[in-house]
Structure 1
Amino acid sequence: MARGGQGLARVAVVVRAGAAPLWWLGLVAAGIGVVPQGLTGRRIGVFAGAALYLLAAAAVALARRGRYAALARGAARAGKYDILQDRAVTVRAWRRGHRWWLLLAFAAALASAFAVPVAGGLLLAGCGTGLWLKAAWLGRRERAGDALLWVRVDRLDGRRGRPAGPAVRAWRGTGIAAGDAAPGGARRRPAALV
């Protein structure tokens, strides 16, 4: 990279990258999981799944918030020669690195339906919801601080791709208009023509 610049990926995009696959795979697994009667019966499975959905969403959304907040507070300004990675590239890299884990989680959710129908799928969907909630929380922090948060691509903790893992020592910040993703990691909507 030119003159010591680093490749940077948006923190909120990395967090949000797993939300959609987990949500959809969880819903599909829950839908298929309604078919078997299971050991507990469908009614208990649905209630257990709803409880697991809420617990998973809360646990994932609140996990490591202190570490995220500390890294956000200490974010240094991105350098002139740093390269901002496109949202699509970040999402594709995360999903490619986690595809086998996603398939394994989907298979486990399907298999669990023979014991407790629906519950495994809703647990998976709850994890996806938790990631979306964490990305939304990061988006509110970005708006409040008027700065987007970035992490060095080479520090994304190998295949795990964790933006606040042990290998990540600091985040970088840019202006709110940088990159092609809005605060929170969603696609940036084109400005309406006046």
Structure 2
Amino acid sequence: MTRGGQGLARVAVVVRAGAAPLWWLGVLATGIGLLAPGLTGRRIGVLAGAALFVLAVAVVGAVRRKRYVALAASASRAGKHDVLQDRAVTVRNWRREHRWWLLLAFLAALGSAFATPAAGGMLLAGCGVGLWLKSAWLGRRERDGDALLWVRVDWLRGGAAHPAGKQVKAYRSTGIAAGDAAPGGARRKTPTLV
């Protein structure tokens, strides 16, 4: 990062980074939670879990959307000396920063199974699906605007850092072909040569 360049991470990749671990930890906690009858019984636990799953998907998918829209609207073009972080590096950094939060959430979901079986795990899985839906929404915005959104890496430091948090002052934008992640943060499909 010479001459004033900054490291930039894709906004959609940062959002999407937590989706898979939350989903799989939630599925695992749900499966283990079903083994214990709990205080409420399995049927009530699963029904409560289904309601929590739907609620988590809706809340996580919708939270801070206005902030994302405002930051995207005021995004400036990335400079030629800015360094675009690879998708794998962004995902690895996010998961490393949040590993203890993920572990605590998993243990809390397991612990809740003694009261309401499967409910905590389904809530965790719903948070993962909500993040995936939010990254898909960001991907649609990126395709519509024909620009990818990036955030400075130094603003994402710390376990509570968020790509639309108070510490983020502005986004940068690049052309739709920049970086190694497609709109929405998924792996970019490479064309096959025949």
Question: Normalization by structure 1: what TM-score?
Answer: 0.98
Q: Where in structure 2 are the equivalents of 1:148-167 lying within 5 Å? A: 148-156=148-156, 158-167=158-167
Letter in 1 for 2:108: A
Tell me if structure 1 keeps the 8 A contact 2:97–2:158: no
Letter in 2 for 1:169: K
Q: Which residue is equivalent to 2:89? A: 89
Counterpart-to-counterpart distance in 2, 1:126 and 1:137: 16
Counterpart-to-counterpart distance in 2, 1:167 and 1:107: 29
Q: Where in structure 2 are the equivalents of 1:44-59 lying within 5 Å? A: 44-59=44-59
Q: CA deviation at 1:110?
A: 0.4
Q: Where in structure 2 are the equivalents of 1:32-181 lying within 5 Å? A: 32-156=32-156, 158-181=158-181
SS in 2 for 1:170: coil
Q: CA deviation at 1:155?
A: 1.2
Tell me if structure 1 keeps the 8 A contact 2:138–2:184: yes
Q: Which residue is equivalent to 1:185? A: 185
Counterpart-to-counterpart distance in 1, 2:159 and 2:27: 25
After superposition, the C-alpha distances for 1:59-113 in whole angstroms (9 at most, x for unaligned) are: 0000000000000111100001000000000000000000011011000000100
Q: CA deviation at 1:192?
A: 2.8
Q: Which residue is equivalent to 2:24? A: 24
Q: Where in structure 2 are there 5+ consecutive unaligned residues?
A: none
Q: CA deviation at 1:137?
A: 0.2
Tell me if structure 2 keeps the 8 A contact 1:157–1:163: no
Letter in 1 for 2:146: D
Letter in 2 for 1:141: R
Counterpart-to-counterpart distance in 1, 2:145 and 2:191: 22
Counterpart-to-counterpart distance in 2, 1:79 and 1:158: 25
Question: Normalization by structure 2: what TM-score?
Answer: 0.98
The number of aligned residues is 194
Q: Where in structure 1 are there 5+ consecutive unaligned residues?
A: none
